[in-house]
Amino acid sequence: MFLSFKSITSKIIILLGIITISLFVFFIINIVKNMDDIEVIKKENEGRIELENKRKTYIDKIKTISLFGVQFQDDVRKLAFYNSQEETDRYGLYVGDQSDADIPALKSYSIEIIPPDKNENFIKYYAYYNPFSYEIYSIVGVLPKRFSDFINEEDKNLESYSLTNLDYSTQDKAFNKCKQYLEPFVSIIDDGIKAKTNLVADNERFKEMHERQRGFSMIYRMNSGLNEGYNFDGFPEKYYGINPKKYITEIGHREPIIRLEASCKNYWNDPNINILLSNDILRGYMITDLDMLFRKKVNEKKLKEEQDSLKYKKKSINKSGLQ
């Protein structure tokens, strides 16, 4: 039996209707699903932005740490005791009184400063700085005491007395007196750091660094709780505009970010006691990268000066018969 044209047309119309309704329902479902996906992505982005803002706020708190009113990344040119351009060499480094508080390789990047908040217990102040940006990465306070001030007078009066020839007992007693002198200063600075941040110090003990030096060497690490998706506590360098060049697989690694050092040194020259506060991220970058880059810049400038000098000398020489 053949279906009538009218019947076929009716069925086609019904089928097309069903298909249209199905497509419409499918389209609506996809719109709803996409809206849900968009909402999820939106929330994820908001979460990332919120986390990033919290990380920046955490770093900003660390940046409020100061010593004598000087903060890390302050411009040393505004504080230098010798703040005239005439007091810098032709490479831009200050040539005045420099500090011995840190390693010798960094001495040329230090200068005496006049801090905003002097302390009556200190006799001099220094800053270590980035030679390109002049941003400060270490602050130094010099105390009036020396190691020899902690040696008993009766020991000093001995015919055999010499700083470099003290017996262990005499040296030990002097170190203990020096510890008692230094400890309140270190504790006050430590309290200030902990009041502004929740950084955790590795070691707060007075310890032997080598046989002629004992002191405090406190390394502070971040304790942010903001490590979701990225070990923020272990790799904070990018928040200082530094690309970290380290490979660390230790789970939960936390990078040193602040260093507080104060030690008594039984050296032949009997130096004054220094208290050194450093941003270890910026100091480390100075040691691993900027020192080499600056030396390269200096060497290139020296080479150019030598080449220019040679050109000048060649002009004054008669070339007849020489070529």
Domain boundaries, the chain: 64-298
Amino acid at 106: L
Q: How many CA atoms lie within 13 A of 90 on its CB side?
A: 6
* 7: its two tokens: 């019947």
pLDDT value of position 244: 74
- This prediction has a pTM of 0.81
pLDDT value of position 153: 85
Helices (H), 2-73: 5-63
Dihedral pair phi/psi, residue 247, rounded to 5°:
-125, 105
Whether the CB-CB separation of 95 and 89 falls below 8 Å is answered with yes
What is the β-pairing status of strands 206-210 and 200-201? Answer: unpaired
* 185: its two tokens: 């200063």
Q: 3-class DSSP state for residue 258?
A: strand
Query: Which among 254, 251, 252, 273 has a CA at the least distance from the CA of 262?
Result: 273
Q: What angle do CA 242, 244, 246 make, to 5 degrees?
A: 160
Beta bridge partners of 206: 216
Which H helix or E strand runs over 169?
A: helix 168-196
Q: What is the pLDDT along the chain (323 residues), one digit of tens a residue?
A: 445 655 666 766 777 677 777 777 777 777 766 665 666 566 667 778 898 999 999 999 999 999 999 999 999 999 988 666 558 888 899 988 999 999 999 999 999 999 999 999 999 999 999 999 999 999 999 999 999 999 988 777 665 567 777 888 888 899 999 999 999 999 999 999 999 999 999 877 788 877 888 888 899 999 999 888 888 999 899 899 998 776 666 777 888 999 999 999 988 888 999 999 999 999 999 999 999 999 999 898 888 888 887 788 878 887 777 77
Dihedral pair phi/psi, residue 303, rounded to 5°:
-65, -45
Dihedral pair phi/psi, residue 224, rounded to 5°:
-80, -35
Whether the CB-CB separation of 73 and 282 falls below 8 Å is answered with yes
Whether the CB-CB separation of 263 and 213 falls below 8 Å is answered with yes
Dihedral pair phi/psi, residue 211, rounded to 5°:
-60, -20
Rg (Cα) of the chain, in Å, rounded?
33
Query: Which among 210, 213, 202, 230 has a CA at the least distance from the CA of 178?
Result: 213
